[in-house]
Chains A and B, each alone.
Chain A
Amino acid sequence: MTANPAMTIEQVEVRCDALVGAAAGSLAGDARAIGDELLAMGEAVLEAWLWSKGREPTDNQTEGFRLLALHRQAAKGDPSFNACRETCREIVYHRNLIHFDEKLGDADRTARMGAMVVLHLALFVGGKLRESGLGEFCCSSRGIREGARVAQERATSMTQEI
């Protein structure tokens, strides 16, 4: 297991934007590969989160998908991570829709929609990573925390002055 995921979160965002913005109908031909890519990108996002926390991403699978196992691992001890639980399940769902659509009749739209779901996961986790130094992303109270820190610094400063 490498500490460097196959893609960074920023690269995932760029790739998702490209898929969403691709010309109409152009994704159908490669839809099955794109379906697998959606899963891989989701995994890369969660791997980045786990490595940032000093935890080795699991290779296990939940319900047949590593992405779901990674989500479960990431959410352990971090309830706010459950805010992306269904997002991960939707990625799996879109990948499955493509794979079980034998004629790929709706594959272009499904792949595009799947990319939007992966983008949401990337934005959510990317935001959490940026904010992790300030506390929980969900329900965070940066103002209060900063206020408390500033108040403490002022109190210390005043005590020293006195």
Chain B
Amino acid sequence: MTGKHKNVAYYPGCALEGTGHAYNRSTKAVGKELGLGLVELKNWNCCGAMEVKNVDPKLQTYLSARNLAIAEEMGFDTVMAPCNGCYHNLKKAEYDLANDQPSREVTERLSSKAGHKTYEPGKVETIHALDWIKDSIGEEGLAMRVKNSLKGIKVANYYGCMYTRPRHIFPEKDKGPGSESTSKPHFMDDLLAAAGAENVDYPLKTACCGGAHALSDSDTSTKLVLNLLTTAEACGADVIATECPTCHSGLEMHQVRAEKVLGRKTSVKILYFTQLLGMAMGLSPKAVGVHENFSDSMPLIKEKGLA
């Protein structure tokens, strides 16, 4: 814990305004409870997500760079992006602008055309919501604020595929003790353990959820998600904790679809890690948006004394 991320610019991204609104709500609620400053970027735009990147990667670099330029203009040296896709894209833009001349040229040209300053790499650090809480409050600080321990809740921490890949765009990871690992990420495990949760050893914590094909190729996504769910259950998990809105929505929707289409029912619950942390700090399920989740976790939440 360094306390260095107490006040950061906030880039929610498109998903957190739609299907991932519970993540938006719980992130803000947890930040407020922890006394952390979050200032949303003014007039932010899409990070380029999946679609733009696939069609024109340099356009995606520009779109993400514009958000970084806004953060800089607002006087911030750190921007926090809770969505794995946004986090990944902002990191990638940072890397490309520092290492790829054609990307720099395109960003410069489009920034000039759009009438704003071109973002210079190295000015703004992009962090994830996990880094934000881990660095600013840390496990000890979090443990001191716990009112309703997550004791007795077995959690499978699911990070998805974009939080750690590709390794070269995350230069701060894999730096030994205290840093995040790209092969065995643990920040979410650390934070939830500090709140009293019992983390299970989950072998698919960075495996693909099929999120990119949630709509276009549902059968593949459903089978991948079903395997994530059944493996979590086999590990003894009551809950899968998520930190990405795409993964989260996919797990929730395909849990239902697996039952309807494949006749395979699973009962493991799916909650954002910020929802679990918020409830551990005494916030109500409503304050952290549990009612906005697609799946119903309330019976478990009540059973474990969190509501």
Contacts and interface: CB of A to CB of B under 8 A. Distances in A.
A131 interface: yes
Given A82-B165, A82-B166, A131-B217, A87 B207 contact: yes
A7 interface: no
A60 interface: no
B207 A140 contact: no
A139 B53 contact: yes
Contacts of A140: 50, 54, 212-213, 216
Nearest to A109: B234
A137 B211 CA distance: 10
A-side interface size class: 20 to 34
A85 B216 CA distance: 24
Contacts of A83: 161, 165, 207-208
B51 interface: yes
B230 interface: yes
Contacts of A86: 183-184, 205-207
Interface stretch (B69-77, B220-228, B281-289, B293-301): B220-228
Contacts of B111: none
B204 A90 contact: yes
Contacts of B183: 85-86, 89
Main secondary structure of the interface of A (DSSP, over half): helix
A123 B224 contact: yes
Given A86-B183, A113-B234, A139-B53, A120 B224 contact: yes
B204 A141 contact: no
Interface string B53-89: 1110000000000000000000000000000000000
B20 interface: no
B207 A144 contact: no
A143 interface: yes
Interface string A140-159: 11111000000000000000
Interface in B92-146: none
B166 A127 contact: no
Given A89-B183, A140-B54, A113 B235 contact: yes
A108 to B, nearest CB: 12
Contacts of A139: 50, 53-54, 212
B30 to A, nearest CB: 28
A125 to B, nearest CB: 10
B165 to A, nearest CB: 5
A112 interface: yes
B242 to A, nearest CB: 17
Interface string B158-194: 0001000110000000000000000110000000000
Contacts of B223: 123, 127
A144 B54 contact: yes
Contacts of B235: 113
A43 to B, nearest CB: 18
Contacts of B210: 127
A154 B51 CA distance: 22
B54 A135 contact: yes
A126 B219 CA distance: 12
A119 interface: yes
B203 interface: yes
Contacts of B54: 135-136, 139-141, 144
A82 B182 CA distance: 12
List 8 tightest A-B contacts by C-beta distance, closest first: A127-B220, A139-B50, A83-B161, A116-B231, A141-B51, A90-B203, A142-B216, A83-B208
Given A124-B224, A141-B51, A143-B216, 17 more contacts: A79-B165, A83-B207, A113-B203, A116-B203, A116-B230, A120-B204, A120-B207, A120-B231, A123-B220, A123-B224, A124-B208, A126-B220, A127-B217, A131-B220, A138-B161, A138-B212, A140-B54
